[in-house]
């Protein structure tokens, strides 16, 4: 049994830094690197790509909405064509910066509000992923397990990696619980590790009330910008390994070949 650990990276911009990239890169196996629209700039990307290559971590493009001030977290009503093009553009830029650093982009994961919108809107997800696949037919699409993202990527016959969230509780319909509800965000590293282990063994998302929703689980999302992110990542890494789970990059098996 195996699983990948992923986290967002390279979220600085110009003079501003964010996150504990250097520490997290020692724990994770896949890095989602911002591409300049919601965070990141060519210099920040060059550094982030180099760090990822040095740590042997799988590189992902992490395209977002064109909203630096809002960090790509504010929903924008963009057209399907615009979504397609902005994902393609950012993926191309990420490929170039990865190549400059001696690496290459293995996967793509949508960021922030774009990810949230695509998790609920299969047509939008398809527009984004079509843009990515037009640039690289073999890229692995990292999707939020059980959402419109997964359906869109499967429908396109793409290589996929399905993710669940380490520190977020799931509602009974398999969606993330609203952050504002009590218990929606989990904090205790040990119980988080136990819960993830349970999900991996069950091959299912386990909801707040304990229901098992069968799900493909290839990777676990760690948040890099919260307090205690590095400690949580380490605990999870250690806990899973101790339980016999191998922590390694996903393969991105094509959806139709499962």
Residues that bind its own copies (CB under 8 A): 12-18, 36, 39, 41-43, 45-46, 66-71, 74-78, 81-82, 84-86, 88-97, 99-100, 113, 131, 134-135
Distance of closest approach, residue 48 Cβ to its own copies, in angstroms:
11
- Identity of the residue, 43 or 172, whose beta carbon is nearer to its own copies in the bound complex: 43
How far apart, in whole angstroms, are the C-alpha atoms of residue 162 and residue 144?
A: 6
Which residues share a beta bridge with 221? 6, 165
Distance of closest approach, residue 75 Cβ to its own copies, in angstroms:
4
- Identity of the residue, 101 or 169, whose beta carbon is nearer to its own copies in the bound complex: 101
CB–CB of 175/116 below 8 Å? Answer: no
Residues sharing a CB contact under 8 Å with residue 137, sequence separation 6 or more, in sequence order: none
- Identity of the residue, 29 or 32, whose beta carbon is nearer to its own copies in the bound complex: 32
CB–CB of 3/218 below 8 Å? Answer: yes
How far apart, in whole angstroms, are the C-alpha atoms of residue 138 and residue 180?
A: 38
Distance of closest approach, residue 221 Cβ to its own copies, in angstroms:
18
- Identity of the residue, 35 or 192, whose beta carbon is nearer to its own copies in the bound complex: 35
How far apart, in whole angstroms, are the C-alpha atoms of residue 162 and residue 41?
A: 28
Distance of closest approach, residue 78 Cβ to its own copies, in angstroms:
6
Which residues share a beta bridge with 220? 5, 164
Distance of closest approach, residue 30 Cβ to its own copies, in angstroms:
20
- Crossing angle of helices 122-135 and 148-155, in 10° steps, is 50
Q: What DSSP assignment string belongs to 184-251?
A: SB---HHHHHHHHHHHHHHTEEE-TT--EEE----EEEE-SSSTTHHHHHHHHHHHHHHTT-EE----
Distance of closest approach, residue 99 Cβ to its own copies, in angstroms:
6
- Identity of the residue, 2 or 104, whose beta carbon is nearer to its own copies in the bound complex: 104
- Identity of the residue, 223 or 237, whose beta carbon is nearer to its own copies in the bound complex: 223
- Identity of the residue, 131 or 146, whose beta carbon is nearer to its own copies in the bound complex: 131
What does the DSSP 8-state code read for residue 168? B
Distance of closest approach, residue 101 Cβ to its own copies, in angstroms:
9
Kindly state the tokens that stand for 114. 């774009």
């Amino acid at each position: 049994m195996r699983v990948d650990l992923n986290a967002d990276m390279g979220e600085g911009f110009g003079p501003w830094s964010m996150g504990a990239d250097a520490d997290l890169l020692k724990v994770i196996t896949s890095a989602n690197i911002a591409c300049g629209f919601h965070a990141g700039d060519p210099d920040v990307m060059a550094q982030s790509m180099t760090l990822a290559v040095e740590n042997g971590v799988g590189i992902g493009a992490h395209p977002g909405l064109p909203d630096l001030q809002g960090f790509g977290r504010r929903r924008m009503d963009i057209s399907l064509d615009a979504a397609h093009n902005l994902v393609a553009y950012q993926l191309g830029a990420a490929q170039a910066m990865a190549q400059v650093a001696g690496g290459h982009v293995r996967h793509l994961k949508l960021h922030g509000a774009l990810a949230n919108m695509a998790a609920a809107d299969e047509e939008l997800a398809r527009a984004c992923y079509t843009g990515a696949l037009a640039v690289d037919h073999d890229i692995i699409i990292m999707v939020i397990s059980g959402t419109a993202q997964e359906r869109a990527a499967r429908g396109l016959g793409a290589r996929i990696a399905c993710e669940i969230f380490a520190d977020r509780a799931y509602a009974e319909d398999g969606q993330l619980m609203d952050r504002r509800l009590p218990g929606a965000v989990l904090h205790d590293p040990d119980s988080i590790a136990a819960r993830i282990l349970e999900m991996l063994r069950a091959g299912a998302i386990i909801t707040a009330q304990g229901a098992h929703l069968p799900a493909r689980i290839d990777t676990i999302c760690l948040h890099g910008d919260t307090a205690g992110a590095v400690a949580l990542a380490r605990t999870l890494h250690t806990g899973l390994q101790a339980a016999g789970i191998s922590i390694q990059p996903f393969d991105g098996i094509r959806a139709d070949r499962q």
